[in-house]
Structure 1
Amino acid sequence: MPERAPIRTAVPATLMAAGLLLTGCGTPAADVETPAAPAGGGSKSAAPASTAPAAGAAAAAGSIGGAGTACVLPVAFGLAKDWKPKAVEAPEDPDFAELTRQGPATVRCEVDAKPAGNIGYLRVWTAPAGPARAALEGFVKAEKGSKGAVYREAKAGALPAVEVTYAVYSEIMEETKEERAFAVATAKGTVIVHLGGLDSEEHRQMLPAYELAKTSLKVS
């Protein structure tokens, strides 16, 4: 696995002060396309996330989700080295509580990549019980600026899953960036694991940690 790139310093101060926390949550979304397969061509700025190269999974250096871990969740999965998990508690103030929701989902845990050398988070969201795809579609549509969503059947550990790659326009960075997520249905509700990032370059560098979460996932 190639050596991690150092964290870039040319980042807007307002973004760093916010810790990248839940950017765009609870805000109106652009229409999300759902083609049956990735579309070819198009401009560089509108390229869908599915153009990113495939990445292998990182080696596990810990886990979250199970009893006694930083985030107790309906599922558990492996953590890449130096990624730091933290449970997200819903604020009492209803105005701030809106920032913890996106579509049908509420964020429960975020895993910070900065100690590992990247700017971004792997976040775990939960939604009421129901079809995983419906929850994932609602989640993507609720993200401001989302477009070009491509959904596909997948596996998360031994569980059936739905995965999506899509693009989001970042008003802060003034560019389109790649994002992806997968969802699984459990007896305790739907779980969505999402990977964003400061920009597409950071996103791609963090894919091994995302793949580790997907391949190692199990019901906790």
Structure 2
Amino acid sequence: MPSTKKALHFMSSALVTATSVGVLGFCMSTQWAETTMECTMKGSSFSNGSAVVTLKLFEGNMNRILCPLFGGQEEFPVIPKLAQTTVVTPIVLHTLVVCLLALCLLFSACSILISLYNSVSNPYETYMGPIGIYVCSSLSACFSVVALVLFVVNVIVTSMAEDLVQLYSGDIQAELKNKSSELKLGYYLVLLYTGLSLFAVALIYMYDHAAYTHRREQERPTEDAPKEIMMY
């Protein structure tokens, strides 16, 4: 059986990682971004409409006011609707974001299992020990950061929101300008997930470092022993 200190550290790591999974699960179901833009009929100089695109990871909301002639509010599935547009980059980036977050959940689940296993047993220093937690939690943190970067690029740099508005405009071409985007709660919660994943690594590192230091103290070379003992 592992020591009480080891059990506490690994149980704490499992609890922190489980909390991060709950945070990530919630953020994947809430709003990530909102993009607002002015909308006019193509060829007209009079700007009298607007469009607001609100995005979650899997669902979106389109609110058009006189854009370009009429308005409306629609709910839509993000990935299937992006597949209907003529531009490939937005759907590729959005799909990558979803896949990376799914990998985050997978590696976090592995980290929890390894932590629980170490809290009740003493495995060797393999992938089922601290090394496994370092790898799984670190990959989760890295993938979440990459997902955040890709999502920002997709919202701000690409024409994802404009393509969605054009899709709902039908045969009447809309001219869209003055786009502004705002990141929502779901996006920022991923930062919390990243921090919790790194904190889980820190908990195991503190135990591992203390255990390594203790082993080194017990394995001192004989030259560090008192002279009286060496003479004896």
Higher RCO, Cα 8 Å, sep 6+: 2
- The TM-score with structure 1 as length reference comes to 0.19
- The TM-score with structure 2 as length reference comes to 0.19
- Point out the structure with max Rg over C-alpha: 2
In terms of fraction of residues, the more helix-rich structure is 2
In terms of fraction of residues, the more strand-rich structure is 1
